[in-house]
């Protein structure tokens, strides 16, 4: 079946450094992508999204890059802070007629080292 | 706070029992989704409702059922519970099909 995968299950970065979390998505026709952050015991929190007609989108300290050629999505976090420690999921939305199901990756755990 | 409310937050029940999880979507959102998240696994899509009607079905067991009421809140019913049903169950909502979905804090179900 289709799946969204993450290359690194755990990423450790020094506080203040930039973090890059990668995601390989499965459906070349997916037209919408979301990054979520999930802290322990909490629900996934929307971080940033991007549509397939874009290749880059910036938010506050975060940037999402989309490379449709290789079906790759990345989340860049600038000046990583201890509060950024969490599991990060990417999600893709395949185009379907009338209904849809987001496909989520298993997540990458980001650990921020003091 | 996403605006999606789920109750109960924690639930412990015995095998063979039945439970109901409740979700109130964000104000104005018509779509409700249910997901299951087991330990060390990603979010597994169960079912989606839009304005009271079932719109998409994922890997939802026959022992599970859901509905969305006229006031747009939704309930997920889990019956004949097994140990393997222990998981976090998330509800999410979105305003229009295809837009960003926002998650609640989840209901943690433990079957003993």
Mean pLDDT of A79-108: 83
Question: Given CB atoms, is A52 within the 8 Å cutoff of chain B?
Answer: no
pLDDT digits (tens, 9 = 90+) for A62-86: 999 999 999 999 999 999 999 999 9
Residue B39 has what pLDDT?
Answer: 73
Let me know: does B94 contact B45? Beta carbons within 8 Å.
no
Buried b (16+ CB within 10 A) or exposed e, B99-108: ebbbbbbbbb
Both tokens assigned to B27: 């104000």
How many other C-beta atoms can be found within 10 angstroms of the C-beta atom of residue A69?
8
Q: Please determine, for residue A7, whether its predicted confidence score (pLDDT) is greater than 80.
A: no
Which residue out of B30, B42, B96 would a mutagenesis test of the A interface target, given it has the greatest number of A Cβ atoms within 10 Å? B42
Let me know: does A71 contact A54? Beta carbons within 8 Å.
no
Residue A100 has what pLDDT?
Answer: 57
State the pairing for strand pair B74-78/A32-38: unpaired
- Rounded Cα distance between B47 and B56, Å, is 6
User: Do the Cβ atoms of A99 and B55 come within 8 Å?
Assistant: yes
Share of chain A above pLDDT 70, in %: 89
Q: How far is CA A52 from the centre of its chain?
A: 14
Q: Please determine, for residue A3, whether its predicted confidence score (pLDDT) is greater than 60.
A: no
Which has the closest alpha carbon to A35: A99, A2, A84, A96? Answer: A84
Beta-carbon pairs below 8 A across chains A and B:
50
- DSSP conformational letter for A84: G
Residue B83 has what pLDDT?
Answer: 95
Residue B97 has what pLDDT?
Answer: 59
Q: Please determine, for residue A99, whether its predicted confidence score (pLDDT) is greater than 80.
A: no
Residue A22 has what pLDDT?
Answer: 94
pLDDT digits (tens, 9 = 90+) for A49-62: 999 999 999 999 99
Both tokens assigned to A69: 């050629």
Q: Please determine, for residue A1, whether its predicted confidence score (pLDDT) is greater than 50.
A: no
- Regions of chain B short of the pLDDT cut 70: 40, 97-99
Contacts of B29 (CB under 8 A, 6+ apart): B72, B93, B94, B95, B102
Residue B84 has what pLDDT?
Answer: 93
Let me know: does B23 contact B6? Beta carbons within 8 Å.
yes
Question: Given CB atoms, is A49 within the 8 Å cutoff of chain B?
Answer: yes
Q: Please determine, for residue A27, whether its predicted confidence score (pLDDT) is greater than 70.
A: yes
Which one is predicted more confidently, A58 or A104?
Answer: A58
Which residue out of B100, B104, B110 would a mutagenesis test of the A interface target, given it has the greatest number of A Cβ atoms within 10 Å? B100
Residue B48 has what pLDDT?
Answer: 92
- Rounded Cα distance between A13 and A107, Å, is 16
Question: Given CB atoms, is B22 within the 8 Å cutoff of chain A?
Answer: no
Let me know: does A56 contact A65? Beta carbons within 8 Å.
yes
With vertex at residue B75, the alpha carbon angle to CA B71 and CA B76, rounded to the nearest 5 degrees, is 160
φ/ψ (deg, to 5) at A112 = -100, 120
Q: How many helices (H) and strands (E) does chain A have?
A: 0, 10
- DSSP conformational letter for A83: G
Share of chain B above pLDDT 90, in %: 78
């Amino acid at each position: 079946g289709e799946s969204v995968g993450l290359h690194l299950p755990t990423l450790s970065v020094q506080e203040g450094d930039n973090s890059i979390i990668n995601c390989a998505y499965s459906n070349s026709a997916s037209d919408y992508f979301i990054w979520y952050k999930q802290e322990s015991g909490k629900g996934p929190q929307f971080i940033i999204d991007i549509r397939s007609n874009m290749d880059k989108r910036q938010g506050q300290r975060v940037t999402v890059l989309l490379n449709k050629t290789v079906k790759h999505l990345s989340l860049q976090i600038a000046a990583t802070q201890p509060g950024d420690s969490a599991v990060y999921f990417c999600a893709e939305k395949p185009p379907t007629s009338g209904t849809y199901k987001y496909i989520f990756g298993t997540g990458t755990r980001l650990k921020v080292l003091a | 706070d996403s605006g999606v409310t789920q109750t109960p937050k924690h639930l412990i029940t015995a095998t063979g029992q039945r439970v109901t999880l409740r979700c109130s979507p964000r104000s104005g959102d018509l779509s409700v989704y249910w997901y299951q998240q087991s330990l060390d696994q990603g979010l597994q899509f169960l079912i989606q409702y839009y304005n009271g009607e079932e719109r998409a079905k994922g890997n939802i067991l026959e022992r599970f059922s859901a509905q969305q009421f006229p006031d747009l809140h939704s309930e997920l019913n889990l019956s004949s519970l097994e140990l393997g049903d222990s998981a976090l169950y998330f509800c999410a909502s979105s305003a229009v099909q295809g837009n960003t979905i926002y998650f609640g804090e989840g209901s943690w179900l433990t079957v003993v």
